[in-house]
Amino acid sequence: MSEIAACTLIQEEPDRKTERYMMMFKDYPDVVSVDILQEMLGICRKNAYLLVKQNKIHSARVGRSYKIPKLCVVEYLIDQNRQLGGMRLSNSLAPSLQNTPESSKLMMPKQRTFGCEQKGA
């Protein structure tokens, strides 16, 4: 079986998540290069090549370049969502977490003095 045929989305009926991702990427061609992959996922070139070389995103090597079916990119995103358990921070919880003193300590970095101590008035 070829690596591209290993994409299960090619063989299955698309579900709702698959359709959403396909709508997200409708402006991209059906087969993309690593440069377009990094644009689709918003990652750096090194990470895009790592995903392809480690076969986390199925691809086919043509000469010196990789050809990646858009369906395999969508399958990778769905698998990542499954591994994370589909957990998201709901909009209803976000404002309540931002108002706690603990969250402000975590989010605000310490101010650095760069060798000079600041004295209070």
Instruction: Indicate the fold that domain 16-83 takes in CATH.
Output: Arc Repressor Mutant, subunit A (1.10.10)
Prediction pTM value: 0.60
Whether residue 31 contacts residue 92, with contact meaning beta carbons closer than 8 Å, is answered with no
pLDDT tens profile 62-117: 999 999 999 999 999 988 888 887 655 444 444 444 444 544 444 444 554 445 55
DSSP 88: -
Name which residue leads in pLDDT, 47 or 86. Answer: 47
Question: Which of 102, 106, 56, 107 lies closest to 79 in space, CA to CA?
Answer: 56
pLDDT of residue 18: 80
Mean per-residue pLDDT for 8-34? 80
